[in-house]
Chains A and B, each alone.
Chain A
Amino acid sequence: MESPFRTHPRLRWAVPVLAVVVVAGGISLGTVGASADNTLGPRTPQQLLVDVQQARLTGLSGTVVQTSDLGLPDLPGLGERSSDLMSPLTGSHTWRVWYAGPDKARLALVGTLGESDVIRNGRDVWVWSSDSKSATHYTLPADRSGPASGSTPTPAPSGGVPATPQQAAEAALAALDPTTEVTSPGTTTVAGRAAHELVLRPRQGGSLVQQVRIAVDGSQHVPLRVQVFSTRRAEPAFEVGFTSVDFAVPEDRQFTFTPPPGTTVTDKGSISSADKAAPGGTAPPKASGPGGAAGADAERPRVIGTGWASVIVADTGQALEASSSGSAGGSAPGDLDQLRGVLSGLPKVSGSWGSGRLFTGTLFSAVLTDDGRLAVGAVEPQRLYDALSSR
């Protein structure tokens, strides 16, 4: 049995090497094989949009992995602890998701030795952080159902526009068409499930967004993955998607939360509709309105350009080098100093529009001028300069 090894002793080394090859081969074959048994038929973008709207999701649980490579400078203190709810801005993060209808959802951010949870059950919303051992309780208003904390998009019933999902899909595609090319090139595999892909590609040049790919589950018609590709990277600059998903309705106990003893409990009471946007994270439909009204003297932000190449120009109301007393920010002086430190590390740029600091990320660029104007857009810096000089 051992005879070939006896005559050629060096042949023995082939065995551990073979073990490595078999494992590596198994892993690559596993991914190829998984996408090979994808038997979904072709679907047009319109059909996909209709599918998504008609999806009736009763429940799911799973693991979501989110990676961002936005090219942000390292902010000390931001996302130091991997289970900090602010940390998703950088790096890779794992979320556990449970969903059982719009009023029952739980989201857990898994950190190395910690966890942050957001649990919604009926009108109660709990935010738990294992790092600070604190629990915060919010009560949602009874009359209207708030935004689900889950990742599932519940189409907002906007004032009686399209009557059927088909019409809504048509309207959406028609609205997108001038700026965006929408295609459904084929299928893919996400979390071991066959999925259709919907691809949005900007028609205009100048945008940093190369394409957005959305994978829609083949049988449940729920978006399983969103990838945003930058023109500057081969890998997605932002990606959020399931790595495992189960469409069975999770047990009720996943949504019950009682603060354990030894916890700092804060009761924030009921959330009025005014400050509702803060924890929910959903921007109100008319985005430019309330933001501009909040700043005392600040000029209303203007949008220059259209579609993917739009640039938002805002007046922050304070010059970069001037001292604090924040009118728009409202952040602590320590944060402001930190911000100034980060800003001074950014390259200085100047042109006919003035001078300032330039930030170039993978998905957006920003210029903060010395006189306090801020231009942001998912565009190359030149477009920002153009927008700033067209005041």
Chain B
Amino acid sequence: MSAGEPMSGAAATLDRPAVPARGARRGLVARLLWSELALIGGRRRNQAGLAVLAAVPVIMAVSIKLSAEDEGGGGDLFSSITSNGLFVPLAALQVEIAMFLPLAMAMLAGDAIAGEANIGTLRYLLTVPVGRLRLLAVKYLSLCVGALWGVLTVAVTGAVIGIALFGVGPMTTLSGVQIDTASALWRLVLAIGYLSAGLAALGAVGLFISTLTEQPIAAAISVMIFTILSWILDAVPQLDWLHPWLLVHHWLAFADLLREPIFWDNLLTGLGVNALYAAVFWLAAWARFAGKDITS
């Protein structure tokens, strides 16, 4: 029953699961990932969360359409919405990346380990002969897919409602240069990828927190506190030495994709910081989870 044994505790019905052949194990991992995604997608609360994420661009687009000719107000992405429907998903992402998307990520991450432990399914999961390292990898992969899922929901809903209400055409970049529709769509795709990477890095933080507790709510709230605290620290000018190391500091750099030519400096720094957070916190999650006594 020592903490060092990965299969110790109540879950250790088998002292050591029989190691299946390599090919069979890869199949198992894929199946585990698939069932994990089905689980995430099937949960009512997650579906409700996606509906909320999708509602924001719709509300924004409709209210701007109704109050049309009311120029100005809000950020630059907002004031451009009437000129091109593709600004709806971009403005919606700008709004939701601050709070809603991290909240969705926090919910998923809370469920990942702490949620399983809370309803007592974690020990059954550990009887699947894939090992804790792989299980953690599958859990993180599913969180990454979840991040893309959330961002795509916002962007696709926004693009559809935006094009329906405001039409689409050449897009005016922040640099005042127009780009054609195809390249504007490509920029939107890049923005989706960039913001998903940022959320996936937050997912690693969430996965680590999720291994610390058996209360999914506590884990989700902790991830939100981490996010909000990061935004607050990012807003304190006296801490400017810290800003480049904050995860959230680089998220709004997705607007650099809307310059002509694209300004890669901050985006690449952002991706680097994402990778750093993902690696460090995933390893910390592993350090915690691999040696944890699973009793529930």
Q: Which residues of A contact B283 (CB under 8 A)?
A: 15-16, 19
Minimum distance in angstroms from A297 CB to a CB of chain B: 41
Instruction: Tell me the chain B residues, 245-285 only, with Cβ under 8 Å from chain A.
Output: 252, 255-256, 259, 261, 263, 265, 276, 279-281, 283-284
A20 lies within 8 A of B76 (CB): no
- Min CB gap B194→A, angstroms: 15
Alpha-carbon distance between A324 and B175 when the two chains are bound, in angstroms: 39
* Number of A-B contacts defined by CB within 8 Å: 89
| Interface residue? B73 (CB, 8 A) | no
Contact of A113 among B5, B6, B77, B288 (CB under 8 A): B77
B3 at the A/B interface (Cβ < 8 Å)? yes
Asked if B177 CB lies within 8 Å of chain A CBs, one says yes
Asked if B75 contacts A113 (CB within 8 A), the reply is: yes
Q: Mark B68-96, 1 if CB is under 8 A from A, else 0.
A: 00000001110100010000000000100
Q: A110-B263, A114-B76 are in contact. Are A9 and B3 (CB under 8 A)?
A: yes
Residues of B contacting A92 in the complex (Cβ-Cβ under 8 angstroms):
240
Tell which of A5, A96, A131 touches B263, judged by Cβ atoms closer than 8 Å.
Answer: A96
Query: In A1-54, which residues have CB < 8 Å from any B CB?
Result: 5-10, 12-13, 15-16, 19-20, 23
Shortest Cβ gap from B257 to chain A (Å): 12
User: How many angstroms from the CA of A63 to the CA of B290 in the assembled complex?
Assistant: 45
A111 and chain B: residue at smallest CB distance: B174
Query: Closest CB-CB distance, A331 to chain B, in whole Å?
Result: 25
B237 proximal to A (CB < 8 A): yes
**In contact, B265 and A113 (Cβ under 8 angstroms):** no
One digit per residue, 1 when the CB lies within 8 angstroms of any chain B CB and 0 when it does not, for chain A 90-115 equals 01101010000000000010101111
Which residue of the partner chain A has the closest CB to B254?
A: A113
> Do B177 and A115 have beta carbons less than 8 Å apart?
no
Contact among B75, B263, B280 with A19 in the assembled complex (CB-CB below 8 Å)? B280
A113-B287 in contact given A19-B279, A128-B176, A130-B176 (Cβ < 8 Å): no
Interface residues of A (CB under 8 A from B): 5-10, 12-13, 15-16, 19-20, 23, 63, 91-92, 94, 96, 108, 110, 112-115, 117, 128, 130-131, 133, 135, 243-244, 254, 257-263
**A-B pairs with beta carbons under 8 Å apart, 15 shown:** A6-B4, A12-B291, A15-B287, A16-B280, A16-B287, A20-B280, A91-B237, A110-B263, A113-B94, A114-B76, A130-B76, A257-B176, A257-B177, A260-B172, A260-B177
